[in-house]
A and B are shown apart, each in its own frame.
Chain A
């Protein structure tokens, strides 16, 4: 019996070797499986791209509605556009289970250091030295095909115009009204041209003007627009009204009485 065990030693070795090889194969297979499925995890990025597109276009809807509101005073335009957008989204991205809800701000809110009273998500506070046009919507996005529910994003749209001062230029006999125009997050708007200033009125009279823009690093530390009109004498003070429309079509109107220096 002992002799037989000794004789069969090679067979035992083969069994052990087979087991070791099996373990190695399973180990290699599990490592390979991890490697081959690595790139599959990136498939969810296509849903991120849909979310990006929805966010960008939802902002566009708010901007369009604010532009329309500042031109036509239609207080219901934002609500109407959002309803259409929510319905059209379902058709465009059918099969993704997309659902976009929105709540329009109807409260008084302090934003960028100013207090605004929203009505159906829209607000304007015009004909002041510091004037605003604003919109604010909170969106709620569902994407049921990937199990995304209640993804909230806030879309504030904002245009501010501040009439700073009025300067007299003796050399050219001109008065220059200086303004600062900013958008949301107080980013200075620096792409406006003379045509964007649709009205310059001084003491109730429309004025033709020349246009300058520059960064005033010495006193204001801000990007400044200067609207110059002719005046043979230096007035002590003026009451000026200015209307500006930005590249998105959003309008703001300001009014101020200034000492001319």
Chain B
């Protein structure tokens, strides 16, 4: 007898559950469009920033031109400097070319990480950085000034 009398209250409960269900559905639907820090869209942007900061930091420290215009530094100090400048879970592959687009380091990889990762990852970031030339004084060679632009393309992917 009492159960029949409370029918209206049960309806309110059902309405509340339905309302909650609609709300959760709406939030779930909208969140599929979200560009959150974890999403691949944001990841590429974050890697680009890391890559640019690494190259620009080396340039501001007056190290970059010394690495770029000295082939003996490519696989040793240049690679090491980039590994130090980037987080340990970020793999990189740096390609260097002249203004004609000729790749200058096809046989000397400036790389950290498995090359396969660059083929398989969905979130690969690419940073282009240009360096115009160099002027320096060396105690053995004296003054050297050279205008010879190089384009650096740094590919980055998270492990």
Contacts and interface: CB of A to CB of B under 8 A. Distances in A.
A249 B144 contact: yes
A24 B77 CA distance: 59
Given A32-B34, A42-B45, A53-B56, A17 B143 contact: no
A70 to B, nearest CB: 9
Interface residues of B, number: 46
Contact of B49 (A14, A36, A39, A45): A45
A49 B52 contact: yes
Nearest to A247: B137
B145 interface: yes
B42 interface: yes
A25 B22 contact: yes
**Chain A interface mostly:** helix
B60 interface: yes
A25 B139 contact: no
Interface string B38-54: 00011001001100100
B45 A43 contact: yes
A91 B99 contact: yes
Contacts of A21: 19, 22-23
Contact of B143 (A35, A42, A56, A67): A67
A225 to B, nearest CB: 15
Given A28-B27, A36-B33, A71 B45 contact: no
A56 B62 CA distance: 11
Interface in B63-112: 65, 99
Contacts of A53: 52, 56, 59, 129-130
The 9 closest A-B pairs by CB, nearest first: A195-B139, A36-B34, A249-B135, A49-B52, A67-B135, A32-B30, A64-B135, A249-B143, A57-B132
B107 to A, nearest CB: 24
A37 B137 contact: no
Given A17-B15, A81-B147, A92-B128, A248 B136 contact: yes
Nearest to B42: A39
A66 to B, nearest CB: 8
B132 A247 contact: no
Best-surrounded residue of B8, B131, B149 (most CB of chain A within 10 A): B149
A92 B135 contact: no
A45 B37 CA distance: 16
A7 interface: no
Given A25-B26, A249-B137, 9 more contacts: A29-B30, A32-B30, A36-B31, A49-B56, A53-B129, A64-B146, A85-B147, A93-B128, A249-B144
A92 B151 contact: yes
A60 interface: yes
A214 interface: no
A252 to B, nearest CB: 12
A136 B34 CA distance: 48
Contacts of B139: 193, 195-196
16 contacts: A17-B19, A21-B22, A25-B26, A29-B30, A32-B27, A36-B35, A49-B56, A53-B56, A53-B129, A56-B56, A60-B65, A63-B135, A67-B145, A84-B147, A91-B99, A92-B128
B121 interface: no
A46 interface: yes
Contacts of A185: none
A29 B29 CA distance: 9
A72 B86 CA distance: 41
Given A36-B36, A88-B149, A249 B136 contact: yes
Contacts of B115: none
A251 B145 CA distance: 12
A93 B23 CA distance: 47
Given A17-B15, A43-B45, A53-B130, A92 B30 contact: no
Given A88-B99, A92-B130, A37 B35 contact: yes
